[in-house]
Amino acid sequence: IRGCIPQRWMISIECCICLLVSYMMRFCFALTITEITTIYGAKHDPHSCPYPSKNESENTTKDMEFHWTASQQGIIHSGIFWGYFSTQVLGGVLSDLFNHKAMFIIGLSLTCVATAITPFAARGFDWIGLIVCRVIVGMAQGVFYNSLHAITGHWIPTPERGTLGTLVFAGVQIGNAVNTLLTGQLLYFFDWSIIFYSYAALGTLCMLIFFFTTYTNPSDVPNLSENEKRVFQEYESQVDHLKHNKVVPVKAILKNYHVWAIFLAMVGQDWCLYTTVTYIPTYMKSVLHMDVRTIGIVNSIAFLLLWLIGLLVGLLADFVHKKEWLSLSWIRRWLYLFGSIFPAVGFVGISYAECQETLVIAIFISSFSTLGLFYPSVKVNPMDLSPNFAGTIGSIGQMGGCTAGVIVPYVASFLTPNISYRNLGKPTGRIQFLKNNVAREISR
């Protein structure tokens, strides 16, 4: 296989697959919670849609395994982000200074272990045990995700960054698509615990394959093709390789306003993403009263389109850059602009679509899929700024996303007992517009 496919493509594909599985483990609980505990605020929401007549009896009498309050559910949802926040910079710096492959494997392995023990913890220690597992998953994911910035910084040359960088990080959306589709089917036919066992086993398999088939640096690869050697020699001639400089310029990075523009951009992007991943399934269940299999299918279509848009636009961005029709910075800016406006409009639109299920689904899929424009823009921007320290810069950007991840569940738990889930769309859209304007001004 190595002789047929360039090594940089192989490692990009494997990183994408590992990221895919990690996001299945990371967010499978968002759909699972709708089937194991009462969604508070649903039946008392004056704006909630009527149940379909054939499902009314089933939905109003179903006995749930757990009975967590809205506040407890908000804390459970935010647990993963508290853990994620705590290891952001640590994961990025360790990946830049030491072995980024080792950090990648450690993060993925711990995610698998914490996911596998989640059902035992929830049934043995109720919501406290569940929070502990979610925090551990978040901490492991902080190390794992930020090691990807270091790996891609070493393995993906600048001319291919829009394509391969998008391929790697779009594993997030493929993972969310597979997660929502598969989790919905598994919840319908099996006990919820099988989801965590299956995903943890799959993650362990991917981790072992990555461990035995990849290398830390291009120079470590035996029998690298002459063409690929030239590609990496040209790339390394353009940057100072990390092994010649073991000091991370933290002060210079923190003073760079482009880094903080990435931070703010990630706040808005991940506010949209985490609201969607965590609460759109709850919205569809509690307000529209859709069944779990339909919710899984709708969400998987949105995430697959998001991935497809990101990948195709990444190819287009690389083509435009090679033709020198636009500078790299302006390519990133335009993609970021459009990737901010359409999701913001969509979230506000969902809030006013009321009980028109088809309209809600159409707005959701069409607007949310344009978040794919963030991948060939904001997501690959840390590699543009500094390939050697992409892990550190990327971790600072991810802290912006973590900030949104921590706040979103508390905002939702505050709004839903007294108002309705549909009101989540309005603040989400406004925050997206606001951070778009602020980040654009900073990045000039």
Domain assignment present for residue 421? The answer is no
Q: Is 444 within the bounds of a domain?
A: no
Buried b (16+ CB within 10 A) or exposed e, 138-156: bbbbbbbbbbbbbbbbbbb
**pLDDT tens for residues 302-350?**
888 888 888 888 888 888 888 888 887 888 888 888 888 888 788 778 7
Pick the closest to residue 154 from 229, 209, 219, 89 (CA basis): 219
Please indicate, yes or no, whether residues 261 and 342 belong to a single structural domain of this protein: yes
431 domain-assigned: no
Say whether both 7 and 91 belong to one domain.
yes
- The whole-chain average pLDDT of the chain stands at 79
First-to-final CA distance of the chain: 44
Digit-coded pLDDT (tens) for 216-243: 888 888 888 888 888 888 777 766 554 4
Do 167 and 301 lie in one domain? The reply is no
Residues 209 and 90 in one domain: yes
- How many domains does the structure of the chain reveal? 2
Residue 209: which domain range? 1-43+64-218
Residues 182 and 261 in one domain: no
Same domain, 213 and 274: no
Main-chain phi, psi angles of 215, to 5 degrees: -130, 160
Residues 112 and 154 in one domain: yes
Q: Are 415 and 423 in contact (CB under 8 A)?
A: yes
pLDDT of residue 345: 82
Whether residue 338 is found in the same domain as residue 203: no
Amino acid at 231: V
Cβ atoms < 10 Å from Cβ of 234 = 12
How much is the average pLDDT of 286-293?
A: 79
Model pLDDT for residues 158-194, shown as the tens digit of each residue: 778 777 877 887 788 788 889 888 998 898 888 999 9
CA dihedral 242, 243, 245, 246 (to 10 degrees): 100
Helix (H, G, I), strand (E, B) or coil at 288: coil
| Residue owning tokens 């639109």 | 349
User: pLDDT tens, 365-401?
Assistant: 888 888 888 878 877 778 777 777 777 787 788 788 7
